[in-house]
């Protein structure tokens, strides 16, 4: 039986990435050594890092004046690195989910934080709109995709303060106008690579403007100067990230990813809206995520939630259980998930409907 991987992260990766990384773990670049044991200063691995950064810039059309970094610590470390490096006195945050809330909490340690809007009171089931961003904010922070609650900001904002975005779970899923952002960051374990490496795209000119001393490892300029090699990088995830970037380019680039993701999401959302047994958790359709599709049982079928989970699991659906704070189900449809897997889940939902709806 084929297993369909809907896990929210660590999540599905392209077969190409898995296969090439497995080969390199046995014999990297003809060295006779594993990529797990080769020096990160070797010419073979330096070439991997250089190519990964170059492909990152190419696929996202990153303009001059930006640096791409691969660092450790996960996106959660960025929650403090960003205010450490960018906040003079005040920062603005949009609270759209658990990770946005955690980022905001860390920023409170460094200065005044203005929460411009929040959907917390509705269990984050919509993206707030119509808020005002303080003109004197050092930056405005958003989380573009909310894995737990299934909402997504799909447009690149035009604002008058530096824009910072956590794109952990939707990077490379759609074209991004990087010029509108001061900094973009994310953990790689959703759409790029195994857990262990974090990417940062930072506009060089925004750095070096705060008065505080910054610990060496938390200063973005350290990693720019060291070309992501100030300390030993997570070599296997970086190698895997390069393979995924190659795969994206081979598929037609980020625009092709967007087209595939929109098609996959439409198949599943259409079934959620049609099937009387299920309903989506996001109140506004325009806020629905293309990466994490959340749904629950309709009220009259609530008692069948456990039965559907067990039924779907028996059909090879893996990782569809919703986050404990929401319940229900979550199908993560990242770039590497084939449309056939989405169709298999839809077929499963239809079969369960036929068993219970007369």
What are the residue numbers of the active site? Answer: 99, 166, 190
Lookup: tokens for 3:
């297993």
Q: Is 138 annotated as a binding residue?
A: no
Give dist(CA 253, CA 261) in Å, integer.
Answer: 13
Give dist(CA 33, CA 90) in Å, integer.
Answer: 49
Taking residue 112's Cβ as centre, other Cβ atoms within 10 Å add up to 15
Pair 291, 145: CB distance under 8 Å:
yes
Please name every residue paired with 68 in a beta bridge, in sequence order, or none if there are none: 201
Maximum Cα interatomic distance, the chain, rounded to a whole number of Å: 68
Which ranges constitute the DSSP H helices of the chain? 15-26, 43-59, 74-86, 98-107, 220-225, 235-251, 254-274, 305-314, 339-356
Q: Is 232 annotated as a binding residue?
A: yes
Give dist(CA 96, CA 228) in Å, integer.
Answer: 30
Q: Is 222 annotated as a binding residue?
A: no
Q: Is 151 annotated as a binding residue?
A: no
Q: Is 324 annotated as a binding residue?
A: no
Pair 352, 313: CB distance under 8 Å:
no
95-97-102-107 Cα dihedral, nearest 10 degrees: -20
Nearest of 8, 20, 15, 3 to residue 340 by alpha carbon: 3
Give dist(CA 212, CA 107) in Å, integer.
Answer: 14
Please name every residue paired with 69 in a beta bridge, in sequence order, or none if there are none: 200
Give dist(CA 34, CA 116) in Å, integer.
Answer: 49
Q: Is 244 annotated as a binding residue?
A: no
**How far is CA 27 from each of CA 13, 44, 46, 154, 340, rounded to the nearest angstrom?**
21, 12, 16, 40, 33
Pair 259, 265: CB distance under 8 Å:
no
Pair 178, 60: CB distance under 8 Å:
yes
8-state DSSP, 92: E
Q: Is 313 annotated as a binding residue?
A: no
Q: Is 41 annotated as a binding residue?
A: yes
Phi-psi group of 284: left, alpha or beta (phi > 0 → left; psi -120 to 50 → alpha; rest → beta): beta
Mark the binding-site residues for L-glutamate, compressed into ranges. 41
Mark the binding-site residues, compressed into ranges. 41, 75-76, 99, 147, 166, 189, 231-232
Mark the binding-site residues for pyridoxal 5'-phosphate, compressed into ranges. 75-76, 99, 147, 166, 189, 231-232
């Amino acid at each position: 039986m084929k297993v369909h991987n809907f896990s929210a992260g660590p999540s599905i990766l392209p077969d190409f990435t898995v296969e090439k990384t497995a080969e390199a773990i046995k014999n990297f670049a003809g060295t006779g050594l594993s990529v797990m044991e080769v020096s990160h200063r070797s010419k073979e691995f330096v070439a991997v890092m250089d190519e990964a950064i170059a492909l990152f810039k190419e696929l996202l059309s990153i303009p001059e004046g930006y640096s791409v970094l691969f660092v450790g610590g996960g996106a959660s470390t960025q929650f403090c690195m960003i205010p450490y490096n960018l906040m003079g006195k005040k920062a603005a945050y949009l609270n759209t989910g658990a990770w946005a809330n955690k980022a905001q909490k860390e920023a409170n340690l460094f200065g005044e934080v203005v929460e411009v809007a929040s959907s917390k009171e509705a269990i984050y089931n919509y993206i707030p709109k119509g808020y005002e961003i303080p003109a004197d904010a050092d930056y405005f922070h958003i989380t573009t995709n909310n894995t737990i609650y299934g909402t997504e900001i799909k447009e690149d904002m035009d604002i008058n303060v530096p824009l910072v975005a956590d794109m952990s779970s939707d990077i490379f899923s759609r074209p991004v106008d990087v010029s509108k952002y001061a900094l973009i960051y994310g953990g790689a374990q959703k759409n790029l690579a195994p857990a262990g490496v974090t990417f940062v795209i930072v506009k060089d000119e925004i750095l070096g403007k705060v008065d505080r001393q910054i610990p060496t490892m938390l200063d973005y300029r350290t990693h720019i100067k060291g070309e992501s090699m100030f300390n030993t990088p997570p070599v296997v995830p970086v190698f895997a990230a390069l393979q995924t970037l190659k795969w994206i380019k081979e598929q037609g680039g980020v625009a092709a990813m967007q087209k595939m993701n929109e098609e996959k999401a439409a198949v599943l959302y259409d079934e959620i809206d049609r099937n009387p047994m299920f309903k989506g958790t996001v109140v506004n359709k325009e806020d629905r995520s293309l990466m994490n599709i959340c749904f629950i049982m309709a009220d009259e079928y609530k008692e069948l939630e456990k039965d559907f989970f067990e039924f779907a699991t028996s059909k090879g659906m893996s990782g569809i259980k919703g986050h404990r704070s929401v319940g229900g189900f979550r199908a993560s449809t990242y770039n590497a998930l084939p449309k056939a897997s989405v169709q298999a889940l839809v077929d499963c939902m239809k079969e369960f409907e036929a068993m219970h709806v007369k």
